[in-house]
Amino acid sequence: MTSEAAAPNHAVSATGAAAFFDLDNTLIQGASLFHLARGLAAHRFLSGREVAKFGWDQFTFRMRGERAGQLETTRNRALSFIAGHTASELVQICHDIFDDYMESKIWPGTRALAQAHLGRGEPVWLLTAAPTELAQIVSDRLGFSGALGTVAERVDGVYSGRLCGQVLHGPAKGAAMRALADREGYRLSSCHAYSDSANDLPMLTAVGYPHAVNPDHRLKQYAVKQGWPVVEYRAGVRFLRVGLPAAAGIGATAGAVSAGVALRRAGRRRAEVTRH
Closest CA relative to residue 12, chosen from 123, 131, 142, 143: 123
Determine contact, residues 28/103, Cβ cutoff 8 Å: no
What 3-state class would DSSP assign to 231? strand
> Measured between alpha carbons, how far is residue 128 from residues 20, 26, 271 in Å?
10, 10, 32
Percent helix, strand, coil in the chain (nearest 5)? 50, 15, 30
Q: How far apart, in whole angstroms, are the C-alpha atoms of residue 204 and residue 163?
A: 25
The count of C-alpha atoms lying within 13 angstroms of the C-alpha of 36, restricted to the half-sphere facing its C-beta, is: 25
Q: How far apart are CA 85 and CA 66, in angstroms?
A: 28
Length of the chain: 276
Q: Could you give the residue numbers annotated as active site?
A: 22, 24
Calculate Rg over the CA atoms of the chain: 18
User: Strands 146-155, 230-231: parallel, antiparallel or unpaired by DSSP?
Assistant: unpaired
Task: Name beta bridge partners: 192.
Answer: 19, 209
Q: Do the strands 124-131 and 146-155 form a parallel or antiparallel pair, or are they unpaired?
A: parallel
